[in-house]
Structure 1
């Protein structure tokens, strides 16, 4: 089997454009590493859409050796993701707005410099600055010691460099771009989970989608969890900004969040001394099992929305961390298979899912950067239609205690 054929065998699970040019930037199996690399619409002789795709190898500090991929659409979005950090999305910018936040962590930290077990299992925070980080897949949630091991904060996928990285550009208009990365969570006697991630973007658009396929390559069944931890800040997040989502019920994650239950839908401005408040949400969906959640600014002319399938991601977490701008003023909209409680609690409450040997499951999300009043109104109307006459049950008691 030649190199090109070998590289595309695994990608069969994710449909590719019918005719596309493909570049292999990383392959652990074939010892391929392109390093710094760039392609543009001009080089591809595409005249109806101006864009570029660039891989950069970073240097200095704890980001030494980290890689980023930057998709730049002249009339659309600039999307930055890191194949070194589990294909996490670092930031998304365009149309005078952005998705993402300003973390005290400024570098794209190479996982080689992170000890996930440090600080009693929250070493994950030493690299946390992404717009979207995959929390999973072997486990997710707050750290806990059980079964003779430390289940560290939010799993390992987000701190795992990809074993394979490919870039596709469709030959035909609208020249969809696809970035694929393979995340392996393989440990002797423990797990052999592999996730083939794919980001899809049409140049000029204000939205993009993720299509991830998780496969159990082991000969035994294995549990899995995932939370798509998606983070937003200024200029969308501000005093008077609002969170929107159709739901049957909402409850505080812990006793501290009880005080914020009556104002869960609105945000304060940067507030010194504000600890994080987390809320557990049971989302409603339409007849096709689709739902969406959004955060919009006070004026209602900027926002960010996430659409997802509740058969794949049945629960939703709202994270409000309206601390100071320097400390991290941010909110998280987090579709998942589980809430953020430790895996031990999620097992007890029967939210931990399992894959049989050789089985696969998929996750599909679409992110949209809203940049006009009409777009925000459209999302608000969709959410209100799904909500319908269902009254939101505000449950005052946390569903679990750590």
Structure 2
């Protein structure tokens, strides 16, 4: 490590991997906590582009002690995530673009202040304001009791601080940045699941990828579930915004959603007393299982696309919550191994997977900011090509009842 870098960077533990530098910001194993930290591309000797990576420790209220990591690429995207909140992505911004939403929850709530079992198992909502939150991994979906145990709303991963956090920056073009955190869900006599949650971003681009590696460290097979709860609001969400995906089958989550089934693909503006509507989707794919779902604003001038593979994430949930802006005007596009029903229903309908002892499974989800009409039209054509002449089956009755 050269002197100029030593002088300008807080004392993170630095290691090397080929042409990359790895900065360790947190390590429970080695008793490391760097706290506030910052580096930019010039400090790495990179002069043909500019970016900043920094960690901030937050103070005040229920965010006391929470941390955020911010990647800033002036010609691309600014991505904010929180290692305190299970490596959730808080928001993503670019020129006239935002991924995320305005929740009534304004702080990056430290999980120490959340009781997941409050509100009949829906205490998770007291911290919910992320652009992407991992619902899982030991369980996901709505709260319920199974085998005498409470399965709280959307699992524990999103309220589990990362035990290990590191940032890897490649010093050769295109200067790929990786932010990794280790999420442990370990309970005596129960699960011992560990997830390496990774965000991958190349400066100056308008897309990023989540790559998660879930490993079962127990000596027995264990259940797992995961939904990537991906949330969008203004400027993408407005009256007559369109959701598009190649859909094989779609059904309403419950009786309330039945009335919105025929208009599942369009949105209202902020509407008082609108309860959430949820739809269960089985997507069509390419030959290798790849598929894409997208959202674009009314005139098709900007949008967001989510790419995933059904071999990893076979189901898609569409969440429409077009309530008032103060209440939370938002929609969620959620690739997952399951739907959002409580665990007993998901088990009964064979949507809970198992991971063998010592096994690792991977999940990749790519998010693209569609910055103009041309980008939107390109994704619309990809979706239309996947759909082809294949029909969409509308199941008008909910496939389960909670």
TM over 0.5: yes
Partner of 1:100: 100
1:246 aligns to 2:246 (yes or no): yes
Partner of 1:82: 82
Structure 1 residue 306, shift from structure 2 partner:
0.4
- CA deviation profile, 1:215-252 (whole Å, cap 9, x unmatched): 00000110000000000000000001000000111000
Where do residues 166-177 of structure 1 align in structure 2 (5 Å cutoff)? 166-177=166-177
Partner of 1:12: none
Partner of 1:232: 232
Partner of 2:3: none
- CA deviation profile, 1:178-219 (whole Å, cap 9, x unmatched): 000000000001110000011100000000001100000000
Q: How far apart in 2 are the matches of 1:322 and 1:60?
A: 30
1:214 aligns to 2:224 (yes or no): no
1:306 aligns to 2:309 (yes or no): no
Where do residues 272-351 of structure 1 align in structure 2 (5 Å cutoff)? 272-351=272-351
Structure 1 residue 149, shift from structure 2 partner:
1.1
Distance 1:7 1:52, change over 3 A: closer
Partner of 1:375: 375
Distance 1:329 1:361, change over 3 A: same
Moved over 2 A (4+): none
Q: How far apart in 2 are the matches of 1:76 and 1:248?
A: 34
What's the TM-score once normalised by structure 1's chain length?
Answer: 0.96
Partner of 1:194: 194
Q: How far apart in 1 are the matches of 2:245 and 2:17?
A: 32
Q: How far apart in 2 are the matches of 1:198 and 1:277?
A: 30
Structure 1 residue 95, shift from structure 2 partner:
2.2
Whether the aligned pair in 1 keeps the contact of 2:14 and 2:22 (CA below 8 Å) is no
Q: How far apart in 1 are the matches of 2:370 and 2:18?
A: 30
Unaligned runs of 5+ in 2: 1-12
User: SS state of the match for residue 188, structure 1?
Assistant: coil
User: SS state of the match for residue 189, structure 1?
Assistant: coil
Q: How far apart in 1 are the matches of 2:325 and 2:285?
A: 34
Structure 1 residue 18, shift from structure 2 partner:
4.3
1:29 aligns to 2:32 (yes or no): no
Q: How far apart in 2 are the matches of 1:359 and 1:44?
A: 37
Q: RMSD of the TM alignment (CA)? A: 1.2
Q: How far apart in 1 are the matches of 2:22 and 2:64?
A: 27
Structure 1 residue 7, shift from structure 2 partner:
10
Whether the aligned pair in 1 keeps the contact of 2:300 and 2:373 (CA below 8 Å) is yes
Where do residues 344-359 of structure 1 align in structure 2 (5 Å cutoff)? 344-359=344-359
Structure 1 residue 288, shift from structure 2 partner:
2.0
Partner of 1:396: 396
Structure 1 residue 17, shift from structure 2 partner:
7.0
Q: How far apart in 1 are the matches of 2:48 and 2:378?
A: 28
Where do residues 119-138 of structure 1 align in structure 2 (5 Å cutoff)? 119-138=119-138
Partner of 2:10: none
Partner of 2:7: none
Q: How many residues align?
A: 390
Whether the aligned pair in 1 keeps the contact of 2:191 and 2:222 (CA below 8 Å) is yes
Distance 1:276 1:185, change over 3 A: same
User: SS state of the match for residue 261, structure 2?
Assistant: helix
